[in-house]
Structure formats: structure tokens, C-alpha cells
Structure 1
């Protein structure tokens, strides 16, 4: 992050600092945005030193960055456009970068499951358990997929989960050493507790001293390939394979978890935006912008919820690939 002390020099400095304070207050780290606003501030200082966003200055700044970077990911356009919206709401004259300047938006490779698909998928897991010849496929991998479904965890978080961090008696599971080192605690529902108590009882009788919760080895966890192969096998056996541009993956259970919670809150008439910081913390996102992403995702699959995202178009930043 750019040093916050006296880093902005142009007549826009006070407004930039106020804008960044606003972003930080809603949980956004905004480090990349801060970097580009610092860059724009220096450009503005030597190109008129305006106290508002001048159209020519903004567009020239965008153009010179475009020529200099040679990258298809032009996220700096998102940041100057967002700052323009903020400033225009105050002075009613600052330029908002027009739509002909569009960064390449990240199109997520996300498959959102229907409830019917998930019912068939888990039903097939139960059927396959009866004929599976290994402990891995009859007990452990089915439990991993229940874990992903119940908690919206990352696949790796399930694979490397240590037995010592699972506290069924206390009603929670600790996720340690996750992405960006964001440790967090997942609280257990009655349904999930009952499932994992049964799993735990069976596993403790078979491999009582295992290090990893989801493993049939004493001190080794499964590879990511194990999860993918099992998912594809069950998906095909359930008759769910179809020709689609986006192929479903185990990781999509995490996306399902996030979207289901947003839809549930909306259906219950709750303030979805007030709930986002809780979802951010629960899912281990490093900033609120990664959680906002799901509000953009939902209307693509559930058109009746278009209003949920369109009502916040001015507040939700454009999401770049590295933020997801």
C-alpha cells in the first residue's frame, strides 16, 4: 500500500483521501485502487491541477496508461470511474469516465447448481457408497463433499483440515493457515454436527490417530486431483453431464453457498448489504469487494433478483480477476 502520509499533492488530494476513507470504512482494502489514484493525482498535478475531474485530463490519463501497459486487464478504468461517481455526487461537475472506456471484466468460470442437481448429486453419492471398494470412496470423499456443501469452504481447506481443529463437542471448526492467512471459525449446525459425529465415530475406530480429518493416511492429505476425479465420477453417474460452456467443479459448491445465503436473506426481507461483512468473514475473503462479486453473479442465473444488484450499481466496484 502507498504510504498514507501526505502522498497526494494535487488539488484533488482531500477528496481522494475522503473517498479512500469511505472505501476502508465499508471493509474494502482497495490497495490497487489507491495505487492508481495516487498515479492519477500526480498526473493531475502537472496537467492543470484541477480540484475536480476534468474530462480531458481523465481521458488522457487513461489513454497514456493504456499505451504504456499493453495489458488487456485495464482495471484502472474501474477505479477512476468509481472515484468520478463519488466526486460527482458531491460537486455535480466531475467527469465520470464514459462507457466507451471499459476494462476487460472478469467473466467467472462459475457453475451455479440448481437444487435439483444437488439433490441428485448427493443421492448418487449415497448410492455409490454401497458399492465402493475403498474407505476413501465409501466414507471420506462423501464427507468432504458434505463439508464443502455445509460450510462453503475452499477445497484445499477441506483437504488440509487437521483433526485437532475440529471441535464437534464445542460446535465449531477452525480453519487455520488458509488463503491470505485468514484464519476463521466455522460454526456447526445441528444437521452438519450429526453427520460429522457419525463420520468421526467411524473414522476414529479405523484410523484413530490420523493427522488430517479427511484422510485414510496417518499423516498425508489428499491431492486436489482426488477431489476432481470423484466429483466428475459422481456427476456422470447421476446423469448430470450435459454440454455447457461452463463445466461444474467441486469448487462451485463454495459459490453455491454464497449465493444461497444472499438469496435467503433477500427472500426474508433482510438487509443484504448489512450482511455482507458477515459473509466475507465466514468465507475468508480478504476484502468486501470479493464478496460483492456474488451480487453481480446472481442475476445471470436468477433473473428475478436483478433488482438486488441493479439497486447497487453505483456502490459495487467492477471486479477484476485477481480479486475473486
Structure 2
């Protein structure tokens, strides 16, 4: 549970679960339009991402449920919104905000931070997704 007054209170689980379960880049999750998320059919469309490539990603029932709760709460607070994830002002979330929230969650969970080398970052979910797929293959 995230201790925050912003929409991240209900969006964080959806945002980071989506990155982890679908291997999304941070920018892809931030830019995801509400119209690109089809909760009824259980998929989302990433349009014009890196190298202008697009792809359709299937969603498990569990992910659909998490995204549906997030969407309901966002609509209740902001009404219709263009991007799926929104800031407190109702605008798309920024890259800086994602990093701040990730670090806040990490610290609130009581996870240790490395004293040397790279710090944990949201993009590491993409690396884990790729690694997990290779292990399954």
C-alpha cells in the first residue's frame, strides 16, 4: 500500500504490475492511452513505440482486474482522461514522477538499497520480464 495523496495511491500497483507482467518500457506505460486498453477483450495496444513499432499484448484476468480498478478510480476522480495513467493535475505522468514513486515504494517496503553500483529502477521490470521469458523457453 502506497502512502501518497496523489493518484499514484491507486495507480502504482497497476503501473508497475503492467511493466512487470508485460515487459513494458516506462515510456510505453506512461504514454498508454485509455483507448489502447481493452479490458473487455483483455489486451492492450502499444502504438508507435521504439522504432515506431506497434504490438498487441494479451492480459491475464488478474491484470485486467487490476487495470479495471485503476481505471474506475481514475474516472471517478478525473472523468474521461486521455492517458491511462494520470498525474494529480489530470495530465500524463512524467518520467520523473515514475522514478520518485518507485523509490518511495521501495523505501516504504523496507527494501535495502545497494551502497555501490546501480540503484533499482522501474526499467528493471523489463529486464526481469525478458529474463523470465528466456527461463521459461
- What displacement does 1:236 show? 2.1
Match of 2:118 among 230, 246, 251: 246
Q: Deviations over 1:38-65 (max 9, x none)?
A: xxxxxxxxxxxxxxxxxxxxxxxxxxxx
Q: 2:29 aligns with which of 158, 164, 173?
A: 158
Distance 2:8 2:30 in 1: 14
Match of residue 5, structure 2, among 118, 133, 143: 133
Structure 2: distance between partners of 1:208 and 1:184: 27
Alignment of 1:239-318 (within 5 A): 239-240=110-111, 241-265=113-137
Q: In structure 1, which of residues 200, 206, 209 is the aligned counterpart of residue 80 of structure 2?
A: 209
- Structure 1 Cα separation of the partners of residues 41 and 34 of structure 2: 14
SS in 2 for 1:132: coil
Instruction: Give the secondary structure class of the aligned counterpart of 2:128.
Output: helix
Shift of 1:132: 2.0
- 1:214, CA displacement in angstroms? 0.4
CA shift at 1:185, angstroms? 0.4
For the aligned residues, what is the CA RMSD? Answer: 1.5
Could you say which structure has the larger radius of gyration?
A: 1
Alignment of 1:226 onto 2:119: no
Unaligned runs of 5+ in 1: 1-125, 266-324
Higher-RCO chain (CA-CA 8 Å, sequence separation at least 6) = 2
Runs of 5+ consecutive residues of structure 2 not aligned to the other structure: none
Higher helix share: 1
Whose strand proportion is higher, 1 or 2? 2
* 2:67 corresponds to which of 189, 196, 199: 196
How far has the Cα of 1:142 moved from its partner? 3.1
- Mapped to 1, the partners of 2:108 and 2:38 lie a distance apart of 34
Normalised TM-score (structure 1): 0.40
TM-score using structure 2 length? 0.89
1:133 CA displacement: 2.0
Superposition deviation, residue 143 in structure 1: 2.0
Answer yes or no: is 1:142 the counterpart of 2:13. Answer: yes
CA distance in structure 2 between the partners assigned to 1:252 and 1:183 by the alignment: 21
Q: Are 1:167 and 2:27 an aligned pair?
A: no
